[in-house]
Structure 1
Amino acid sequence: MTKHLERRILLLQILLGMVCCTSLSFLSLLLSRFGFNNLQIGLVMMAAACSTSIAKPCWGVFTDRVPCTRRILVITLALGIASFTLLGTLGGASKGAAVVFVLLVEVTTGCMMGVVDSWIAKLIGTGCKINYGLTRAGISGAYAVSAACFGTVLDQYGVLPGAVALFVLLGLIALTVQGIPYPEERQEKKTYSLRLGAQQLLRSRHYLVLLAVYFLSTLTACAIDSFLSLRILELGGSERHVGYALFMTTVFEIPAMVCYSRLRRITGKSPAFFIAASVFFYGVKCLATGLAPNYQSVIGLCALQMLAFGIFKPAILDYLIQIVDVEYIGATQMLTCALGESLSAILGNALNGALADRFSVGGMMTMVSGFAFLGALAMAVSMKTQANKIAKT
């Protein structure tokens, strides 16, 4: 039963990764085709990021309180795919309509990976033996394949063939989720109190430290994610070399995700340890990329994604399952993504852009790597404090 469920979830993550990559990764390109300039595209995408920051906690609370995750996922993805289709077909006629459709895609499809992560976390928290890293690796692989395929289709045939493929993927998702149980079916019904859940989080030093560490690590990570291509071009590389770097990044994060659970069992280390280690390697990757003498070195450094994001993503969910009551895991996980990831990326991209303009991309990366090192130190201190408390009791 466990392996069957794990395979179902892996298939869901692969299909969802294809939908999200196709729907989200090409929004800026479509806006450019519709006549938006770089400043306008930046403002629209910033508004989209702000919208998802607000929407993610709302989706988390909704899925915690309403036990119909399957229907929520399928209906919301249908709305997102319809919005993407309308963006591709009608967005060129009206810039206002294009902005509305982009926002709709972001607050629907853009939030569903978090909803599925919360669903998996609840299943794990109620006793299911699921290797989250293995299932999450499906998204990384799907992203790489979908980006290459849809980019070619979009260039030659436009949006409509991709939209048709999205609806086919939606049908497959609707079939796949039928084999995945609701967490609510595995536990007694509890009274849900948003106020009580919020009070628990505010009183949890572990959660507040995690949120701060997530925020700091994202300030560093978005420097790499958003400016990697510019750093390669700055060192004399080309778009082809950017493609190599992105491929390296995806390929190396997958085995780390797959092996995370086994690595935890072998080492006996806590999720907090792996969070601290992965955030440290975010800093190493950013610092080394900023100091790299040539673009070949930058491409090689993309292998550090294995020790950074590849470990960080499953360790975060693993840690949340340990420190948060299962009935609040959905809202907590989405709130963590909204504040630690989306909001930090908004602020980080603005800061990183200003620093890059002032000091060069390499200089900016060298400076902002310090945020990750600070985050790793904060998590390590939190771990040591907790260990000292346990030793005294």
Structure 2
Amino acid sequence: MNSSPTSRPELPWLRAFSFTIFGTSVLVASYFPLFYAKLGFSNSQIGLLYALGPMISLIANLFWSVASDKYRTIKKIMILLLIGQIIMSALLSVSTQFSVIIAVITMYYFFYYPAFPLSDTIAINAAKRHNKHFLTVRIFGSIGYAFFALFIGYVLSMIGSSRTMWVAIGIAAIALFITCFIKDQDSPVAKMDMSGIWGILKQKELLWFFGCVFSLAIAVRMNDAFLTVTLNQLGASEKLIGWSQLASSLSEIPIFILLSLYGEKIKELPLLVFASLIFAARFFLVSAADSAGAIIAIQLMHSLSFGVFYVTSIRMLTRLIPDHYRATGMALFTIAWSSASGLLSGTFGGILFERFGRHDFYLVAMGFALLAGVGFASRYLHRGPRLRATGADVSPAANAKAGEEIR
């Protein structure tokens, strides 16, 4: 445990950084689609712009991971990422043509996505050095997400969605300032071990798990891409959209705490079936909702859907995968949950939303969630959980290695 006087401020600065960096996550997830809509882009175009992020994240995470390993620094890489975000946000603020925005947003995503696994890595290592629980740092990210969800909504309601990118510049600039006070670390981000993929793919239990996760992820990413567009169509202001994000982000915190304390008493597959069914019910209710206020109320189901799924899926994954394949398994999980599903749901979902409307769009999302639930249930009923004890670490610190892209 490092307890020297000069090291004591490290955790408060990391908490401040975690709090701030999630403001950019709020913007990308909730207000970028609204920004595109204000520019007059169609739903299929918005879906394509959303799908670019997961595709670019595959390349960006690998590139910056290699750079972090080669130059033995995380802080300097983080500074470069934040400067890149600021520059790309400035270019986006003056761009209106779809072709230009595609090029610029591609570069923005290149600097945006790797910031989260890097920040998790710094926080995990610092928490270990100070003999603290990782949750003491990571929970400030959830609090920051809730704060910025509401704060950004109020700001944009006053200055207009056309100035979304100026808010992005401001948040990234604050994060850049805080980064200057963070202690550098030479621990690289865990990378995918290509030699371990075959060993993982031979496990039928794990393949079934990834297939169900992918089905559920398509539904979730469809909702992520078009929730703010749906709220806007129902007459919600930026301020009200902020309240919807606040409701979902705050609701997940007590579930995380409860499952960390008592979740081990319940088998994983029944919990995953439960989460899938709650997701399905949530999407069905959104399809039938006739007001923005109703959708905000439905957002409270985020705790029982995403909250239960997140904690339980990482817990199951750490038990199914041996320690020496852990980085590979986490990388494959991220591809299934965020990258591949985001690419498919963005392109497919945009066309679906534009041609058939919100009602049918969310019914299709409900169908994918139900399919995942049936998959988890059939595996449990047919063979049982069959979770192999590996002595895996299922602490929040291990969970965080799945990356922020899971949100």
The two structures have a TM-score, normalised by structure 2, of: 0.72
Q: Distance in 1 between matches of 2:279 and 2:242?
A: 20
Match of 1:109 in 2: 112
Structure 2: gaps (5+ residues): 3-7, 390-407
Amino acid across the alignment from 1:170: L
Give the one of 65, 83, 89 matched to 1:84: 89
The structure-2 alpha-carbon separation of the partners of 1:360 and 1:75, relative to structure 1 and needing over 3 Å to count, comes to: closer
Q: For each residue in 1:3-28, what CA deviation from the matched residue of structure 2 results, as whole angstroms up to 9, or x when unmatched?
A: x8876654432121024435675545
Q: Distance in 2 between matches of 1:122 and 1:381?
A: 39
Q: Distance in 2 between matches of 1:272 and 1:359?
A: 34
Amino acid across the alignment from 1:214: V
Q: Distance in 1 between matches of 2:11 and 2:198?
A: 33
The alpha carbon displacement at 1:288 in A equals 3.0
Q: Distance in 2 between matches of 1:129 and 1:106?
A: 30
Confirm or deny that 1:217 pairs with 2:236. no
Kept in 2, the 8 Å contact 1:249–1:302? The answer is: yes
Q: Residue 239 of structure 1: SS of its match in structure 2?
A: coil
Q: Distance in 1 between matches of 2:46 and 2:365?
A: 25
Confirm or deny that 1:340 pairs with 2:328. no
Amino acid across the alignment from 1:101: V
Q: Residue 113 of structure 2: SS of its match in structure 1?
A: helix
Tell me which moved more, 253-262 or 119-128: 119-128
Q: Residue 181 of structure 2: SS of its match in structure 1?
A: helix
The alpha carbon displacement at 1:106 in A equals 0.6
The structure-2 alpha-carbon separation of the partners of 1:64 and 1:118, relative to structure 1 and needing over 3 Å to count, comes to: farther
The structure-2 alpha-carbon separation of the partners of 1:199 and 1:30, relative to structure 1 and needing over 3 Å to count, comes to: same
Amino acid across the alignment from 2:112: T
Amino acid across the alignment from 2:135: N
Confirm or deny that 1:379 pairs with 2:376. yes
Kept in 2, the 8 Å contact 1:352–1:364? The answer is: yes
The alpha carbon displacement at 1:201 in A equals 2.7
Kept in 2, the 8 Å contact 1:59–1:115? The answer is: no
The alpha carbon displacement at 1:255 in A equals 2.8
Match of 1:250 in 2: 249
The alpha carbon displacement at 1:193 in A equals 8.3
Amino acid across the alignment from 1:130: F
The structure-2 alpha-carbon separation of the partners of 1:51 and 1:229, relative to structure 1 and needing over 3 Å to count, comes to: closer
Structure 1: gaps (5+ residues): none
Give the one of 170, 175, 184 matched to 1:169: 175
The two structures have a TM-score, normalised by structure 1, of: 0.74
The alpha carbon displacement at 1:306 in A equals 0.9
Give the percent of matched residue pairs that are identical in Structure 1 and Structure 2. 15
Report the aligned-residue RMSD: 4.5
Match of 1:131 in 2: 135
Q: Distance in 2 between matches of 1:161 and 1:222?
A: 24
Q: For each residue in 1:327-384, what CA deviation from the matched residue of structure 2 results, as whole angstroms up to 9, or x when unmatched?
A: 6645543443233223213322444445555654223323431221222332344456
